[in-house]
């Protein structure tokens, strides 16, 4: 299964404004289709268990259901502009390419629901219900929002102002939908390939960026089982030190804010101190969440860790953007919070995988690195280390 | 031996002899600072105070735990020997530089020890639950123990950071500088420790508070905070402790003591014992003993880590941990001797302050019954584990006090 993305980012303000209402008939039709898909999936499960392969009519029906759901949620969450059709035909700007049925291992078919559970958990933090309005009512701020819901909400405001979708947000939504489609495809026996959470391969060609705060990953995926087993306890000293450093960084950031407002630029020493703090926070998080293997140092020194943060020197930012930095940072920090939830799931799933295999799965590692990069950029932006707004989509680093 | 080596060895040997003499002098002075009248304790028969069934039950209970403890110690040493041989390979799992890598290796050493101790801890808990001494669940025990390991790592990193930092700066005699640094840290910890105990609240019983103040006056102790700790969810065993330094001096009484069948006089006697500790400055003396024992311990670390490039190198940390743990195991019986003397002295002070030997005997009987302590354990268990006099020794002291009363 592969997501095909041909959307051109252009949006009509009118359809964006009424997007949720326009999507309503499609959602109702999707619900009806889902009831049918539930029964078909059960029949398909029994048939595949007996025949070792999904019967073509059932496979096609379920494949079409997965494709239609992806199209509807892409439309609802602003990843695509045109109205989808009601029949899940291919050709939509955010579409799923699905292979014809192939022979499947009967054991994996028999235990498919259990095997799909980890992927379903990850899909839940990435996509939620797929409906931001529903998620906001359900969670009431208790559990926070899924990545997709927040990206759609911020995308809505962006599109209303600019009449086009932000590339990062669109790609993030497309990535989440791609993972959800793979998960449902796997669960419904449309494919026997386990969902791949790697954001670098999910949506086709990615932009190559050179942000002032960028991350470099040279991690080799090998994990020491002993340090994995005790990862949380081993991170305790770092977490205590990070908290103490964080208190100091908070005062430094306030001082930095005043200095930049007056002088127009951060002093080198202050910029260096805050950069180190952001880098150290990244190193510790990478270690704690199993995105990196080695035990990190305590000073956030550059060039010491396989998940590395490169920070450019101090810039001369727009004073208005500096004055309102805290307000401007709110969306980025909210999205960073949602990425944090995904990171937690990555850590839990990665912990089991690394403990058994001695390796971190590439997809999980890359998703973790993606989340960490966004969180680091959001902190750097908030602490005035950079004036560049965090880039929310998956990308290649120059 | 070359002439030059001989000329270097002489002052070093001389320094060592002088150091050993000073150490012995300090140990004697510290020992004598805890006053205890030379009593000829009468030998009392435990059967006169406890039923046969209790003596059998408590002996069975404690014997099992003591044997389990010895097996646990042997396992820990075996695990640390293996870790000392192979642990240095884990250097590759660190990107934290010299000191940070040392911290990682130290933490992993303790993590491996924790892992080896888990089965023993669970069996001990099963035994305690079987005898109704503990109510803690197995999962809670594991979780608490794991979180405790995390907090332990924080202090371990601090200690290793200081020691390796000093070893990197001072070449030969770094271990002499480590001791005051560690004693300073221990003093700081002792100072703040009353605030680190979970589930405590101020004792609001005005009678008990007034009695504590009166006992402080009688025994010449500093003004102490009185706290109650809630432990009844985990255990029925009663207990109390005196901790803190100077302005943070605190007496903590377990709620199992305050609300579980102890009379006012009995609680007062326990309070008098703890106030006695504060009057004798026992928390400070414990620091003194710590300093005396740390000195040879770190000296041995310096000696044994030479073949891996000295303690400044992270590869030597697994050996250092083995040396420190082994030294601690060997020193524990000696430290128990000093602790038992302090406890006996506090018992004596309590008797002098309350003039109630009968209450002392009653308290000891209750303590033994509720904690299922063997009143007269075998000598090996006594030497290895007991940091208090045995229940019978404490009853005998009450008897001796009564006998010498004019």
pLDDT in tens, B26-52: 999 999 999 888 877 888 899 989 999
Confidence of residue B236 (pLDDT cuts 50, 70, 90): confident
- Give the pLDDT confidence score for residue B337 in this predicted structure: 95
Exposure b/e, A130-151, CB count within 10 A at least 16 = b? bbbeebeeeeeeeebbbbbbbb
User: Could B111 and A226 be called an inter-chain contact, meaning their C-beta atoms sit closer than 8 Å?
Assistant: yes
B144 shares contact with chain A (CB less than 8 Å): no
Residue-wise pLDDT tens for chain A (398 aa)? Answer: 889 999 999 999 999 999 999 999 999 999 999 999 999 999 999 999 999 999 999 999 999 999 999 999 999 999 999 999 998 889 999 999 999 999 999 999 999 999 999 999 999 999 986 555 555 555 544 445 789 999 999 999 999 999 999 999 999 999 999 999 999 999 999 999 999 999 999 998 899 999 999 999 999 999 999 999 999 999 999 999 999 999 999 999 999 999 999 998 999 999 999 999 999 999 999 999 999 999 999 999 999 999 999 999 998 888 999 999 999 999 999 999 999 999 999 999 999 999 999 999 999 999 999 999 999 999 999 999 999 999 999 999 87
* Chain A interface test: which of B95, B157, B161, B196 (most A C-beta within 10 Å): B95
User: Could B95 and A306 be called an inter-chain contact, meaning their C-beta atoms sit closer than 8 Å?
Assistant: yes
Q: Which residue of B has its CA nearest to A222?
A: B93
Nearest to A343 by CA among A97, A106, A147: A147
Which residue in the set B93, B95, B154 is minimally distant from A224, CB to CB? B93
Q: Which residue of A has its CA nearest to B97?
A: A297
Looking at chain B, the whole-number percentage of residues with pLDDT higher than 90 is 78
Output the six-digit token pair for A162.
């600019």
- Give the pLDDT confidence score for residue B345 in this predicted structure: 95
Q: Are A119 and A48 in contact (CB under 8 A)?
A: no
Give tens-digit pLDDT for B48-69.
Answer: 899 999 999 999 999 999 999 9
Distance (Å, rounded) from C-alpha B118 to C-alpha B6? Answer: 50
Q: Which residues of A touch B150 (CB under 8 A)?
A: 232-233, 236
- Give the pLDDT confidence score for residue A130 in this predicted structure: 57
Give tens-digit pLDDT for B282-299.
Answer: 999 999 999 999 999 999
| The model's pTM | 0.88
Give tens-digit pLDDT for B6-16.
Answer: 666 677 788 88
Distance (Å, rounded) from C-alpha A1 to C-alpha A106? Answer: 20
Q: Which residue of A has its CA nearest to B154?
A: A237
Q: Which residues of A touch B94 (CB under 8 A)?
A: 294-295
* Chain B interface test: which of A233, A283, A284, A291 (most B C-beta within 10 Å): A233
- Give the pLDDT confidence score for residue A133 in this predicted structure: 55
Give tens-digit pLDDT for B145-190.
Answer: 999 899 899 999 999 999 999 999 987 889 999 999 999 999 999 9
Kindly state the average pLDDT of the residues B76-82.
96
Give tens-digit pLDDT for B92-130.
Answer: 999 999 999 999 999 999 999 999 999 999 999 999 999
- Give the pLDDT confidence score for residue B158 in this predicted structure: 93
Mean per-residue pLDDT over chain B, rounded: 91
Distance from CA of B305 to the nearest CA of A (A): 23
B104 shares contact with chain A (CB less than 8 Å): yes
For residue B108, the SS3 value is helix
- Give the pLDDT confidence score for residue A136 in this predicted structure: 55
- Give the pLDDT confidence score for residue B29 in this predicted structure: 95
User: Could B93 and A294 be called an inter-chain contact, meaning their C-beta atoms sit closer than 8 Å?
Assistant: yes
DSSP 8-state secondary structure symbol assigned to residue B405: -
SS (H, E, C) chain A: CEEEECCCCECCHHHHHCHHHHHHHHHHHHHHHHHHHHHHHHHHHHHHHHHCECCHHHHHHHHHHHHHHHHHHHHHCCCCCCCCCCCCCCCCCEEEECCCCCECCHHHHHCHHHHHHHHHHHHHHHHCCCCHHHHHHHHCCCCCCCHHHHHHHHHHHHHHHHCECCHHHHHHHHHHHHHHHHHHHHHCCCCCCCCCCCCCCCCCCCCEECCCEEEEECCCCECCHHHHHCHHHHHHHHHHHHHHHHHHHHHHHHHHHHHHHHHCCCCHHHHHHHHHHHHHHHHHHHHHCCCCCCEECCCCCCCCCCEEEEECCCCCCCHHHHHCHHHHHHHHHHHHHHHHHHHHHHHHHHHHHHHHHCECCHHHHHHHHHHHHHHHHHHHHHCCCCCCCCCCCCCEEC
Output the six-digit token pair for A197.
């959470």
Nearest to B283 by CA among B366, B346, B213: B346
User: Cα–chain-centroid distance for residue B61?
Assistant: 22
- Give the pLDDT confidence score for residue A135 in this predicted structure: 58
Show which of residues 147-206 on chain B sit within 8 Å of chain A, judged by CB atoms: 149-151, 153-154, 156-158
Nearest to A390 by CA among A338, A350, A346: A338
Distance from CA of B183 to the nearest CA of A (A): 21
Distance (Å, rounded) from C-alpha A44 to C-alpha B375? Answer: 72
């Amino acid at each position: 299964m592969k997501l095909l993305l041909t959307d051109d980012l252009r949006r009509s303000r009118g359809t964006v404004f009424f997007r949720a209402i326009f999507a309503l008939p499609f959602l109702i039709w999707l619900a009806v289709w889902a009831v049918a898909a539930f029964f078909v999936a059960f029949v398909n499960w029994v048939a595949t268990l007996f025949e070792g392969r999904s019967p073509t009519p059932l496979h096609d029906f379920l494949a079409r259901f997965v494709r239609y759901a992806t199209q509807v949620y892409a439309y609802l969450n602003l990843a695509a502009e045109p109205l989808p059709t009601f029949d899940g035909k291919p050709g939509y700007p955010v579409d799923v390419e699905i292979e014809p049925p192939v022979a499947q291992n009967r054991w994996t078919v028999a235990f498919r629901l259990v095997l799909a559970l980890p992927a379903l958990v990850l899909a839940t933090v990435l996509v939620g219900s797929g409906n931001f309005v529903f998620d906001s009512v359900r969670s009431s701020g208790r559990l926070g929002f899924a990545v997709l819901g927040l990206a759609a909400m911020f995308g809505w405001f962006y599109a209303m102002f600019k009449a086009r979708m932000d590339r990062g947000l669109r790609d993030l939504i497309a990535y989440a939908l791609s993972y959800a489609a793979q998960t449902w495809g796997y669960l419904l026996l449309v494919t026997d390939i386990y969902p791949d959470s790697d954001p670098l391969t999910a949506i086709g060609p990615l932009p190559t960026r050179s942000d002032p705060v960028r991350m470099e990953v040279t991690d080799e995926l090998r994990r020491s089982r002993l340090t994995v087993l005790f990862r949380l306890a081993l991170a305790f000293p770092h977490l205590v030190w990070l908290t103490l450093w964080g208190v100091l960084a908070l005062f430094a950031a306030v001082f930095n804010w005043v200095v930049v407002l007056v002088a127009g630029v951060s002093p080198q020493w202050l910029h260096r101190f805050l950069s180190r703090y952001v880098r150290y926070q990244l190193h510790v998080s990478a270690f704690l969440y199993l995105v990196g293997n080695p035990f990190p140092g305590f000073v956030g020194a550059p060039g010491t860790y396989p998940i590395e943060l490169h920070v450019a020197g101090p810039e001369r930012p727009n004073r208005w953007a500096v004055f309102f930095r805290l307000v401007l940072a709110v969306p980025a920090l909210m999205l960073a919070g949602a990425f944090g939830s995904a990171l937690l799931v990555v850590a839990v799933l990665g912990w089991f995988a690394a403990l058994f295999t001695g390796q971190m799965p590439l997809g999980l590692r890359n998703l973790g690195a993606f989340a960490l990069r966004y969180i680091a950029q959001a902190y750097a932006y908030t602490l005035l280390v950079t004036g560049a707004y965090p880039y929310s989509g998956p990308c290649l680093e120059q | 031996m070359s002439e030059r080596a001989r000329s270097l060895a002489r002052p070093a040997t001389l320094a060592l002899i002088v150091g050993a003499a000073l150490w012995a002098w300090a140990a004697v002075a510290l020992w004598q600072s805890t006053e205890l009248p030379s009593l000829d304790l009468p030998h009392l028969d435990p059967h006169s105070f406890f039923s046969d069934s209790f003596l059998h039950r408590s002996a069975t209970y404690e014997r099992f735990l003591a044997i389990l403890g010895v097996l646990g110690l042997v396992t820990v040493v075996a695990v640390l020997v293996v870790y000392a041989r192979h642990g240095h390979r884990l250097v590759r799992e660190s990107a934290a530089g010299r000191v940070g890598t040392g911290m990682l290796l130290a933490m992993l050493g303790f993590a491996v020890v924790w892992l080896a101790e888990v089965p023993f801890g669970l069996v001990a808990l099963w035994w305690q639950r079987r005898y109704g001494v503990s109510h803690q669940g197995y999962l809670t025990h594991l979780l608490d123990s794991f979180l405790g390991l995390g907090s332990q790592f924080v202090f371990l990193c601090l200690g290793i950071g200081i020691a390796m930092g000093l070893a990197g700066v001072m070449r030969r005699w770094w271990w002499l500088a480590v001791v005051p640094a560690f004693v300073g840290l221990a003093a700081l910890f002792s100072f703040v420790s009353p605030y680190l105990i979970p589930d405590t609240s101020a004792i609001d019983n005005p009678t008990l508070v007034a009695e504590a103040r009166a006992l402080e006056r009688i025994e010449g102790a500093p003004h102490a905070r009185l706290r109650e700790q809630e432990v009844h969810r985990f255990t029925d065993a009663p207990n109390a402790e005196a901790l803190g330094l100077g302005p943070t001096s605190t007496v903590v009484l377990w709620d199992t003591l305050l609300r579980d069948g102890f009379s006012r006089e009995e609680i007062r006697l326990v309070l008098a014992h703890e106030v006695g500790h504060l009057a004798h400055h026992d928390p400070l003396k414990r620091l003194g003993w710590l300093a005396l024992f740390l000195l040879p311990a770190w000296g041995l670390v310096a000696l044994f880590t030479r073949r891996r490039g000295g303690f400044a190198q992270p590869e030597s940390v697994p050996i250092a941990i083995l040396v420190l743990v082994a030294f601690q195991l060997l020193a524990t019986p000696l430290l128990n001797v000093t602790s038992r003397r302090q406890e006996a002295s506090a018992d004596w002070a309590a008797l002098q302050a309350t003039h109630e030997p009968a209450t002392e005997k009653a308290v000891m009987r209750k303590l033994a019954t509720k904690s299922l302590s063997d009143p007269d354990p075998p000598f090996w268990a006594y030497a290895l584990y007991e940091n208090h006099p045995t229940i019978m020794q404490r009853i005998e002291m009450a008897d001796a006090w009564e006998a010498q009363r004019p």
